[in-house]
Amino acid sequence: MLTKEQAIKTVLASIIEANKKQAEMSGGWWLTDAGVESIIQYVCAQRMHKVLQKQNGGGNVYLECNMAEVLNDSAAQKQPGRIPKNIDGSKRIDIVVSDANGNPIIPIEIKKNTSDPGFIKDAERIFTLLSRADTQKKGSLKYGIICAFSHGNGNTDEIAQKRLNDKIVNTKKRLKASFPDECFELHHTTEKSEYFDEYGYWAAGAVCVYLRRKRESG
Q: What is the pLDDT of residue 38?
A: 92
| Segment holding 171, helix H or strand E | helix 157-178
The percentage of the chain sitting over the pLDDT mark of 70, rounded to a whole number, equals: 89
Whether residue 202 is contained in a domain is answered as: yes
Q: Is residue 218 part of a domain?
A: no
**What mean pLDDT, rounded, does the chain reach?**
87
What pLDDT score was predicted for residue 96? 96
State the CB neighbour count (10 A cutoff) for residue 56.
Answer: 15
Domain assignment present for 217:
no
In a domain, 194, yes or no: yes
Q: Which residues contact 3 (CB under 8 A, 6 or more apart)?
A: 56
Q: How confident is the model at residue 217 (pLDDT cuts 50, 70, 90)?
A: very low
Residue 55: Cβ-neighbour burial (10 angstroms; 0-12, 13-18, 19+): exposed
63 falls within a domain: yes
Number of domains in the chain: 1
Confidence of residue 215 (pLDDT cuts 50, 70, 90): low
Q: Which domain holds residue 88?
A: 4-212
Residue range 167-179: mean pLDDT, rounded: 96
